[in-house]
Amino acid sequence: MNNKTMTIISVSIIVFSFFIGVISNDIFFGFIALCSGTLNILFQVNGRAFNYIFGCIFNITNAYISYINNLYGLFILSLIVYFPLNIFGFISWNKHKENDIITFKKYEKKKSTIIILISIITSIIFGFLLGIIPNQKLEFLDSSSNILNIFSMILLNRRLNEGWYTLLSNNIIDLIIWIINFINHTQNSFMMLLVSILYLIINIYGIYKWKNSKIIT
């Protein structure tokens, strides 16, 4: 995707996010979450290192929204794990640019299997720990989403193509979480549901793009 097309799409996302924020009466946190979250995944799919800047903005906004919706796992990890990982990713990607585009590399199937097993076990343990926190909601969905997100960020920071598949699993769980919250009419849930839908769509595009890309080494 060339720079002109990226600019047009980016402006469209900002305008769309503002419009949705106005009609849903969620012009501040909802607008920022939808706009920064969508730009983050869009630029990440297209191999642009500055996607992590939008990732940092989204993490801070997402932390607040998660806190008021009693999703304490997402709140805690957004601040102490995701935010630092975005900074690390920005530095790492900038070291491996070729004409401003990042090159990705394939992972090994054996290591991918180990990652899957570790994520399942860790999600269960983290879910039990979250269940101890008073008023925590959807603890096992919350834990699974967070663990998968951590692994996907680590894999993508290291430019490993399997990160897209891990991120897709996280996107699906996130979508379930915000559908439940939207049904229960929780704060900012409509905008976060839109973020989850757009993340899922763009991530599917990302998997297709990188699977057929010549810059996977």
Asked if residues 31 and 17 have their Cβ atoms less than 8 Å apart, the reply is yes
Q: Report, as an integer, the average pLDDT of 78-103.
A: 78
131-179 confidence digits (pLDDT tens): 887 777 788 888 888 888 888 888 888 777 777 888 888 888 888 888 9
Is the pLDDT assigned to residue 214 strictly greater than 50?
no
Residue owning tokens 């997100």: 149
Q: Taking the mean position of all CA atoms in its chain, how far away is CA 17?
A: 17
Alpha carbons 80 and 66: distance in angstroms, whole number: 14
What is the number of helices (H) and of strands (E) in the chain? 9, 2
> Can you list the pairs that 174-178 forms with residues at least 24 positions away whose Cβ atoms lie under 8 Å?
174/145, 174/199, 175/200, 176/141, 177/71, 177/138, 177/141, 177/142, 177/145
Is the pLDDT assigned to residue 217 strictly greater than 50?
no
41-54 confidence digits (pLDDT tens): 888 877 788 888 99
Is the pLDDT assigned to residue 2 strictly greater than 70?
no
pLDDT value of residue 104: 67
Of the pLDDT bands very low, low, confident and very high (cuts 50, 70, 90), residue 92 is confident
> Can you list the pairs that 117-121 forms with residues at least 24 positions away whose Cβ atoms lie under 8 Å?
118/151, 119/147, 119/148, 119/151, 119/166
216 DSSP β-pair partners: 104
Name the average pLDDT for the chain. Answer: 81
Our CA dihedral for 72, 74, 78, 80, rounded to 10 degrees, sits at 50
| Structure tokens given for 169 | 């699993």
Show Cβ contacts of residue 87 under 8 Å, excluding neighbours closer than 6 positions.
Answer: 52, 56
Show Cβ contacts of residue 50 under 8 Å, excluding neighbours closer than 6 positions.
Answer: 43, 90
> Percent of the chain, pLDDT > 70?
89
Residue owning tokens 């704060």: 187
Alpha carbons 169 and 94: distance in angstroms, whole number: 26
Is the pLDDT assigned to residue 215 strictly greater than 60?
no
| 89 or 209: which leads in pLDDT | 89
Q: Taking the mean position of all CA atoms in its chain, how far away is CA 95?
A: 22
105-141 confidence digits (pLDDT tens): 666 677 777 777 888 888 888 888 888 877 777 888 8
pLDDT value of residue 98: 64
The pTM of this model reads 0.73
Is the pLDDT assigned to residue 1 strictly greater than 70?
no
11-40 confidence digits (pLDDT tens): 888 888 888 888 878 778 878 888 888 888
Is the pLDDT assigned to residue 188 strictly greater than 80?
no
